[in-house]
């Protein structure tokens, strides 16, 4: 069991790292993009992911700056 | 055009990780002896080759849209982690990575450990080199395999990584000391930007959305991410300077 936990923790640290909110933002932005592509908007929603990435990266950096 | 980026990204990412691995191996080799250290390096490289040989073909079996969505998302998250750290380092909120200091730290730790011989090897030197090369190499393998599979250019990504290996090991053997002059933090910034750019491009393509200008969008994403990252660095530096100023003013009163 502890081996599995260690394995999962390694991959979590490896891929996600210090701030999980960025990973969640990426996943949510991609899911919303998929929904918009398939439901109504078509292919012109390319801007959503980069916008979310830059906004959440900025928010993450700002949190570090405020804490320090 | 994307082929050039694939080679460049694989080369830069591999060079950065190999410089860090070289520091660990040099510290172990100089203080504990080269035989056990090099055996550790060899076993780690074998493990990495097995992981890459298993992962690479497995990824090519996934349909391209699903591959771009999943691998693109992983690359984007992974790249943002690099970029976030690079911005924090550039703005002074995180200490810069210093290979000379890392080398001194590893040498001191290696000297303080007692010698335990297992399977005819100095176990400390073996495990230190094995872990160091495996962990740093895993990042290289992850980038090369995901980049290569998603761009359908595994060969180009491997060429980038191999070139970095030859140069870093060649220079390391020649100078016999950690490569502290390599602008590691700048390279990490560049790699973070490239991983985030390709991750964004591929994951959005995987959703079914279409980039204006098709492949040319990669250059535009890279440009926007670069400009915004530098704006973040500047804002954070200003914030840090103001905080230090306020702290000093408070200390005087």
How far apart, in whole angstroms, are the C-alpha atoms of residue B205 and residue B199?
10
Contact at CB, B204 and A46, closer than 8 angstroms: yes
pLDDT tens, position by position, B146-172: 877 777 777 888 888 889 988 988 888
Q: pLDDT tier at B253 (50, 70, 90 boundaries)?
A: low
User: Concatenated DSSP letters for B111-172?
Assistant: HHSPP-EETTEEHHHHHHHHHHHHHHHHHHHHHHHHHHHHHT-HHHHHHHHHHHHHHHHHHH
Closest CA to B83 of A51, A60, A52, A21: A60
Contact at CB, B80 and A22, closer than 8 angstroms: yes
Residue B98 C-alpha from the chain's centroid: 15
* More confident position, B229 or B64: B229
Helix, strand counts (H, E) of chain B: 8, 2
**Is residue B222 scored above 70 in pLDDT?**
yes
A35 touches chain B (CB under 8 A): no
Q: How far is B220 from chain A (nearest CA, A)?
A: 11
The HSE-up count of residue B143 (CA atoms within 13 Å, CB side) is 34
What pLDDT, on a 0 to 100 scale, did the predictor assign at position B4? 83
What pLDDT, on a 0 to 100 scale, did the predictor assign at position B46? 92
In this prediction the pTM is 0.80
Structure tokens at B165: 């290996």
Q: How far is A28 from chain B (nearest CA, A)?
A: 11
* More confident position, A12 or B190: B190
State chain B's mean pLDDT as an integer: 85
* More confident position, A52 or B116: A52
What pLDDT, on a 0 to 100 scale, did the predictor assign at position B244? 82
Closest CA to B195 of B88, B43, B84: B84
Contact at CB, B209 and A37, closer than 8 angstroms: yes
Structure tokens at B79: 């790249």
Q: Quote the ipTM score.
A: 0.90
The bridge status of strand B121-122 relative to strand B117-118 is antiparallel
pLDDT tens, position by position, A1-57: 676 787 788 778 877 888 899 999 999 999 999 999 988 666 688 999 999 999 999
What's the rounded mean pLDDT across residues B181-187? 78
pLDDT tens, position by position, B133-148: 998 888 888 888 887 7
Helix B154-175 to helix B2-32 angle (10° resolution) is 30
How far apart, in whole angstroms, are the C-alpha atoms of residue B168 and residue B41?
15
Which of B68, B75, B77 has the highest number of chain A CBs within 10 A, making it the mutation to test binding with A? B77
What pLDDT, on a 0 to 100 scale, did the predictor assign at position B7? 87
Highest mean pLDDT among B17-31, B130-144, B173-187, B226-240: B226-240
Contact at CB, B243 and A18, closer than 8 angstroms: no
Which of B79, B81, B199 has the highest number of chain A CBs within 10 A, making it the mutation to test binding with A? B81
Contact at CB, A37 and B208, closer than 8 angstroms: yes
* More confident position, A66 or B237: B237
**Is residue B81 scored above 70 in pLDDT?**
yes
Cβ contacts from A onto B, under 8 A: 96
**Is residue A68 scored above 90 in pLDDT?**
no
pLDDT tens, position by position, B83-96: 999 999 999 888 87
For residue A32, the chain B residue with the least C-alpha distance is B207
Contact at CB, A26 and B80, closer than 8 angstroms: yes
């Amino acid at each position: 069991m502890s081996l599995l936990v260690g394995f999962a923790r390694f991959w979590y640290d490896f891929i996600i790292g210090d701030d999980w909110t960025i990973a969640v933002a990426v996943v949510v932005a991609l899911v919303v993009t998929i929904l918009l592509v398939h439901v109504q908007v078509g292919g012109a929603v390319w801007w959503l992911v980069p916008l979310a990435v830059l906004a959440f990266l900025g928010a993450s950096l700002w949190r570090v700056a405020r804490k320090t | 055009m994307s082929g050039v980026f694939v080679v460049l990204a694989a080369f830069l990412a591999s060079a950065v990780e190999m410089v860090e691995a070289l520091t660990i191996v040099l510290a172990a080799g100089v203080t504990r002896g080269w035989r056990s250290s090099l055996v550790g390096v060899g076993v780690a490289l074998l493990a990495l080759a097995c992981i890459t040989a298993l992962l690479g073909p497995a990824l090519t079996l996934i349909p391209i849209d699903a591959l771009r969505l999943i691998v693109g998302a992983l690359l984007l998250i992974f790249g943002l982690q690099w970029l976030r750290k690079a911005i924090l380092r550039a703005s002074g909120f995180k200490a810069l990575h210093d290979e000379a200091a890392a080398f001194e730290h590893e040498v001191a730790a290696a000297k303080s450990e007692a010698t335990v011989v297992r399977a005819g090897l100095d176990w400390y030197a073996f495990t230190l080199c094995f872990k160091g090369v495996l962990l740093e190499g895993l990042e290289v393998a992850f980038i090369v395999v995901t980049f290569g599979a998603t761009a359908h250019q595994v060969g180009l990504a491997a060429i980038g990584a191999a070139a970095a290996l030859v140069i870093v090991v060649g220079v390391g053997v020649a100078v016999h000391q950690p490569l502290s002059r390599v602008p590691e933090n700048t390279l990490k910034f560049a790699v973070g930007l490239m991983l985030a750019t390709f991750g964004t491009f591929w994951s959005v393509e995987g959703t079914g959305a279409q980039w204006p200008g098709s492949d040319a969008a990669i250059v535009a994403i890279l440009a926007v991410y670069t400009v915004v990252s530098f704006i973040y660095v500047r804002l954070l530096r200003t914030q840090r300077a103001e905080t230090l100023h306020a702290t000093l003013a408070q200390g005087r009163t």
